[in-house]
Structure formats: structure tokens, C-alpha cells
Amino acid sequence: MLFNSFTFLLFLPLVFVLYWFVFKPLRWQNVLILVASYFFYGWWSWKFMILLAVSTFADYLYGFWVASPNRKKAQFFLWLSVINNLGILGVFKYYNFFALEFKEAFALIGFHTNPVLLKVAIPIGISFYTFHGMSYVFDIYRGKQKPVRNFVDYAVFVSFFPLLVAGPIERANHLLPQIQKKRFFNYAQAVAGCRLMLWGMFKKIVIADSLATIVDSIFNNYQHQSGLTLIIGAIAFSFQIYGDFSGYSDIAMGTAKLFGFELLSNFRFPYFSRDVAEFWRRWHISLSSWFRDYLYIPLGGSKEGKLKAVRNTFIIFLVSGFWHGASWNYIAWGFLHACGFLPLLLLQRNRRHASDVVAQYRKYPTGKELWQMASTFTFVTFAWVFFRAKDMFTAAGYLKGAITNYKHPKEALAYCNVFYYIIPLLLIDWWLRRDERNLSVPKRGKRIVYMVLALLVIFYFGKKTNFIYFQF
């Protein structure tokens, strides 16, 4: 089920009314959320529900075994859980990729094989809910979380419908206590949730989907476009994926607020970042922090010498790229970001913007800050080409055309309407940059602003398009 669909507009109020006015006891509220979540997920395919249930039950059991005081036994089941979760990902998401790569590798040395390929769709959100389960088991092993006795509570943690298919990737010690605690309707929280949902819908339906048409037109015919047009296409995709994914996260956080839950932040205005390190503290925060806590730090982080720090940096960025998809262009995207992050790490500047916001106490950025934001955005946009392209050949051809094709620059004028969507988004983000959840506006113009946003969403509503991160 899509957030931007009429079905969801019927589904959400129904669940909301049942949740607060019919299923009042906590245990029945959790049962309702679980049933609603599986219905929401099963709207695509009931087969996906089976895989989700199996994955959930397996990690529920692993949680008890990993909690054993016998560390050898706990470690054994920890690795079994990791193998189980990565095995699910490997079969459904990466099997065909490796099968074809091995086929080509063997062909180079004279052996010809004909591997059996899986003809199944990748289950939506599989990378997200498997990471939920893995973090739960990891935290139990580390003593940060106790096993959950109530299976329904744990199943809600894994499958809570606002975050099920595209995050944020929650942590057990953050979401589970909210699931296990009695919740009371909070009017202010619900209003804040509605505002977040409206803003998320605006970013997805009005901004991202409008840019998507232009981006597809440029990328699908890049061989015949001028260099300036290709540059505009890359910029447009940067804002398309931002509006699409951050819009989803806003809708997810807003929906969760309606039911009394607070989810982890996933975006904090990443295009106002002054370097690549700050960008990754502001883009897909729940994923980057997951890799930091469960991969980078266990590998030694940056505390065991420069050489290991460099190794660990490349590992997490390459794994992050591969997490997004079984294709070399995603790995190249991760590699580029590792290269951009590396100088900051070696010069010990990767933490210099860890806590502040650009122009935190000023209305406007300085010239230096503008240059830093512009250069970071240019690098990120360059890397996005590999993310958007269907393969490495396409990415290379696109970039070559953007750099070398100076013919017919006036053709780019036909695509300048992308800035009608980009500039307003940037201006609003700049206004909100100090707090991504505070969407309050001056009282004098509050009703007008919200009415304009709502009317725009209604006007553009109707074309049901998947969120980009559903494929991951």
C-alpha cells in the first residue's frame, strides 16, 4: 500500500478510529497495529507477508538464545542469526547478481556455465526489516536490550507499518519501550503528526513526482542531450530522491505520531552540509548510524590506527552501496563517497560539523559556507549519477556527455522548469533547518500556508508512484 494512494487515505482513518476508540487496552492496540501492519504490507503480495513472519519469528527466538549467560552459546546463535538474515537478503536480493557475475568470471577462463536464476520479485522493504531484526539480536548480545517475552510486541517493532517498507531503521531500545508502554492520545502530538504528513506529501507528490518525469526524460535519452541538459538532469535527480525519500520519512514520522509513537529522525537538511561527513550525518541517518554502530565500531572504528580507519571507512561505504542494490553502479556510488570522506578522516576534520547547523545564529550563510555547501552538493550530485543510472556504462556515458557535449546549450531551457520545484523547497528547508520536526509557521499566515500546501497536494494527487527506496 502506498502512502500516496486513495487506499491509504481510507486505511489510515479507519485504523486510527479503531486504535483510539475501540481497542483501548494496550495489548489490543498492539494486536491491531500488528494486523494493520501485515494488511498494509500484504497489499502488495501475501507471499511477502510469509517471509516477513518467518524472519520475525526467527529473530524473536534468536533473542532468547543469544541472551544465554554461556558466551560461546550466545556467540554461536548470534552468528546463526546473522547468517539467517544475510541469507534471506542474499537469496532474494543478491543471488541473481552473484550468479551472473560468477558466470562471466568462469567464462573468462574458458568454463561456460548456465546458472539457474530466481524469477521472483524482491520483497519490498526486505533490507529494512532484516536490519531491524539484526540490531535487536546484536543489542541483546551486547547487553543493551533484554529479550522481549511478548511476541506481539516484538512483531510490532519489526513490522510497524509507517516504517516497514522504507524506514527509518529503528532501534529496539528506542521503539520497544514505546510499544510496551500505555499510550494516551496527545492532541498536540497528533497535530504535529498531521503537519509532518502534509509536508511529506508535498515533498513526494508535488516536488519529487514532478521532477521524476523530467529526470526520466533526460536520463532515458542522455545520448541525445546537451551537456547543460545533463547537468540539469543530475541536479533534478538530487532533489527528486531527496523529496521522495525524506518525504516518505516525514509521512512515516507523522503517521507514527498519530498513534503515540516517536520515530528516529532520518533527514536533517542534507543539502546544507558543508562536507561529505556532515552530509552522512544528515542523509538517511538511521542507516548510516546503523552501519556505524554495528559494523564500523566493531571493526575498530578509527581508534586502531590510520590504516584500519581507512579500511573500515571503505568497508562501510562499499557495504552501504551494495545494501542499496545488487549492481556495480551502487558499489561505485559507495566507493565515491568513501573517497570523499577519506581526506576528512585523515585530516581529522570529519567531526568539525558534528553538532552545529549552518548559519545557526544567523539568517544567511557566509561566503565560505556557501562555497562549502555548493562544493559538497556538486560532489554528491556527481555521485548520484551512478545511483540513478541503470549500470556503469550508462553512468559513464552520462557523465562524459555532461562534461564534453557543448552543442545546443539552448535545449536546456526546456528543462529549466525544474527550478520551479527546487527553489521553493530550498527556501522552506532553509527556514526550517534548525529543527526538521518543527513545521510551525507564524500565526498570521499559518492557515494560508497549510491551505496552500494541502491544495497543491490535492491538485497533484492521483498518479500513484512508488517511493524510490521501496526497491531497497
Judge whether 174 counts as a catalytic residue: no
Whether 99 and 295 have beta carbons less than 8 Å apart is answered as no
Degrees, nearest 5: CA angle 20-21-24? 70
Q: Which of 78, 180, 73 is nearest to 137 (CA)?
A: 78
Contacts of 94 (CB under 8 A, 6+ apart): 322, 326
If phi > 0 it is left, if psi is from -120 to 50 it is alpha, else beta; for residue 257 that is: alpha
| CA–CA separation, 325 and 114 (whole Å) | 23
- In this structure, are residues 149 and 46 in contact, taking their beta carbons and an 8 Å threshold? no
Residues 6+ apart with CB under 8 A from 406: 226, 227
| Residue type at position 142 | R
Number of Cβ within 10 Å of residue 253's Cβ equals 26
Handedness of CA 29, 31, 36, 41 (dihedral sign): positive
| Given the residues 132, 284, 324, 353, the one annotated as active site | 324
* Euclidean distance between the first and the last CA atom of the chain, given in angstroms as a whole number: 16
Long-range contacts of 17-24 (CB under 8 A, 24+ apart): 19/259, 20/185
Cell of 329: 553502479
Active-site amino acid positions: 324
